[in-house]
A and B are shown apart, each in its own frame.
Chain A
Amino acid sequence: MDVAAHPPARSRTLLPRTVVGAALLDALRKLDPRTLVRNPVMFTVEVGSAFTTALFLHALVTGRGDAPAGFILAVAAWLWFTVLFSNFAEAIAEGRGKAQADTLRRARREVVATRLATPSRASPREDVPAARLRPGDVVWVEAGQIVPGDGEVIEGIASVDESAITGESAPVIRESGGDRSAVTGGTRLLSDWLVVRITAEPGGSFLDRMIGLVEGAKRQKTPNEIALDILLAALTLVFLLATATLLPFSVHAVRTAGAGAPVGLTVLVALLVCLIPTTIGGLLSAIGIAGMDRMIRANVIATSGRAVEAAGDVDVLLLDKTGTITLGNRQATAFLPGDGVAERALADAAQLASLADETPEGRSIVVLAKERHGLRGRTLEPGALFVPFAAQTRMSGVDVGARRVRKGALDAVARFVEAEGGRLPDTVRTIAEDVARRGATPLVVADGSRALGVIELKDVVKGGIAEKFAELRRMGIRTVMITGDNALTAASIAAEAGVDDFLAEATPEMKLAHIRGWQAKGHLVAMTGDGTNDAPALAQADVAVAMHTGTQAAKEAGNMVDLDSNPTKLIQIVEIGKQLLMTRGALTTFSIANDVAKYFAIIPAAFATTYPPLRALDVMRLHSPASAILSAVIFNALVIVALIPLALRGIAYRPAPASAILARHLLLYGLGGLVLPFAGIKLIDLALAALHLA
Chain B
Amino acid sequence: MTGAAYAEIAVFFGTLTVLAVPLGGWIGRAMRGEAPLVGRLLGPVERAVYRLAGVDPAEEMSWRRYAAAVLAFNGAGLLLLYALQRLQPALPLDPGRLAAVPRDVAVNTAVSFVTNTNWQSYGGEATLSPLVQMAGLAVQNFLSAATGIAVLAALTRGLVRRSTQGLGSFWVDLTRSTLHVLLPLSLGLALLLAGQGVVQSFGGVGRWPLRDPVPDASGRPVVEQAIPMGPVASQVAIKQLGTNGGGYYAANSTHPFENPTPLTNLAEALAILLVPAALCFTFGGWVGDRRHAWTLYSAMLVILVPLTMATVAAEQAGNPAITAVGVDEQPGPLQAGGNMEGKEARLGPVDAGIWAAATTAASNGSVDAQHDSLTPLGGLWPMWLMQLGEVVFGGVGSGLYGMLLFVVVAVFVSGLMVGRTPEYLGKKIEAREIKLASVAILLPSAVVLGGTALACLVPSAAAAAANPGAHGFSELLYAFSSAANNNGSAFGGLTADGPFWTRATDVAMLVGRYGVLVPVLAMAGALAQKRTVPPSAGTLPTHGPLFAGLLVGTVLLVGALTFLPALALGPIVEHLQLHSW
Contacts and interface: CB of A to CB of B under 8 A. Distances in A.
Interface of A: 223-224, 226-228, 230-231, 233-234, 237-239, 241-253, 256-257, 271, 275, 309, 312-313, 315, 473-478, 520-523, 577-582, 584-586, 588-589, 592-593, 595-596, 599, 603, 607, 611, 613-614, 616-617, 653, 657-659, 661-663, 665-666, 669-670
B557 interface: yes
Contacts of B449: 241-242, 245
Contacts of B421: 223-224, 309, 312-313, 581
Counting from the closest, the 6 A-B pairs by CB-CB distance are A476-B538, A585-B416, A578-B419, A234-B438, A585-B417, A613-B576
B537 A657 contact: yes
B71 interface: no
B566 interface: yes
A41 B445 CA distance: 20
Nearest to B534: A522
Contact of A234 (B442, B531, B576): B442
Contacts of B454: 248
Contact of B537 (A249, A474, A579): A474
B417 A582 contact: yes
A256 B472 contact: yes
A275 B539 CA distance: 31
B415 interface: yes
Contact of A477 (B536, B558, B560): B536
10 contacts: A233-B438, A248-B457, A249-B565, A249-B569, A581-B419, A582-B417, A585-B413, A586-B417, A614-B576, A657-B537
A654 to B, nearest CB: 11
Interface in B415-460: 415-421, 426, 429-431, 433-435, 438-439, 441-442, 445-446, 449-450, 452-454, 456-457
Instruction: Provide the main secondary structure of the chain B interface.
Output: helix
Contacts of B532: 522
Contacts of A611: 470, 569, 573, 576-577
Interface of B: 409, 412-421, 426, 429-431, 433-435, 438-439, 441-442, 445-446, 449-450, 452-454, 456-457, 462, 468-470, 472-473, 531-534, 536-541, 544, 546, 550, 553, 557-558, 560-566, 568-569, 572-573, 576-577, 580
A231 B434 contact: yes
Given A257-B469, A666-B550, A227 B538 contact: no
A252 B464 CA distance: 13
Contacts of B563: 242
A238 B532 CA distance: 32
Nearest to A316: B536
Contact of B419 (A243, A589, A653, A663): A653
A474 B539 CA distance: 11
Contact of A522 (B426, B430, B433): B426
Given A227-B434, A603-B565, A658-B539, 19 more contacts: A224-B421, A228-B412, A230-B434, A234-B441, A234-B442, A246-B565, A256-B468, A256-B470, A315-B536, A579-B419, A580-B419, A582-B417, A596-B557, A611-B569, A659-B540, A661-B418, A662-B540, A666-B414, A666-B550
A107 B566 CA distance: 62
A224 B577 CA distance: 47
A584 to B, nearest CB: 5
A584 B469 CA distance: 44
Contacts of B433: 227
Interface of A is mostly: helix
A312 B413 CA distance: 15
B415 A585 contact: yes
Nearest to B537: A476
Given A249-B566, A477-B538, A658-B538, A522 B417 contact: no
A312 B423 CA distance: 13
Contacts of A596: 557, 560-561
A167 to B, nearest CB: 27
A541 B566 CA distance: 52
A226 B541 contact: no
Given A252-B462, A523-B534, A659-B540, A242 B561 contact: yes
A234 B473 CA distance: 27
Contact of B412 (A231, A592, A613): A231
A589 B550 CA distance: 11
Contacts of B536: 315, 476-478
Contacts of B439: 234
Nearest to A575: B419
B417 A226 contact: no
Contacts of B573: 607, 611, 613-614
Contacts of B470: 253, 256-257, 611
B397 to A, nearest CB: 24
Contacts of B564: 242, 599, 603
Contacts of A243: 565
Given A230-B435, A603-B565, A659-B544, A666 B533 contact: no
A475 B536 CA distance: 8
A246 B539 CA distance: 41
Given A611-B470, A666-B550, A475 B538 contact: yes
Find the residue from A237, A657, A659 having the highest chain B CB count within 10 A: A659
A578 B546 contact: no
B34 to A, nearest CB: 27
A658 B435 CA distance: 25
A478 B536 CA distance: 9
A253 B473 contact: yes
Contacts of A580: 419
B427 to A, nearest CB: 10
Contacts of B473: 249, 252-253, 256
A592 B445 contact: no
B430 A223 contact: yes
A581 B416 contact: yes
Contacts of A271: 565
Given A227-B412, A242-B561, A588-B413, A248 B576 contact: no
B22 to A, nearest CB: 30
A271 B563 CA distance: 14
B556 to A, nearest CB: 10
B417 A231 contact: no
A616 B580 CA distance: 10
A257 B468 CA distance: 8
A245 B537 contact: no
Contacts of A312: 419-421
A607 B435 CA distance: 34
A510 to B, nearest CB: 22
Contacts of B429: 227
A662 B561 contact: no
A390 B323 CA distance: 96
A227 B431 contact: yes
A523 B533 contact: yes
B565 A659 contact: no
B569 A599 contact: no
A592 B410 CA distance: 13
A443 B250 CA distance: 92
A663 B456 contact: no
A238 B419 contact: no
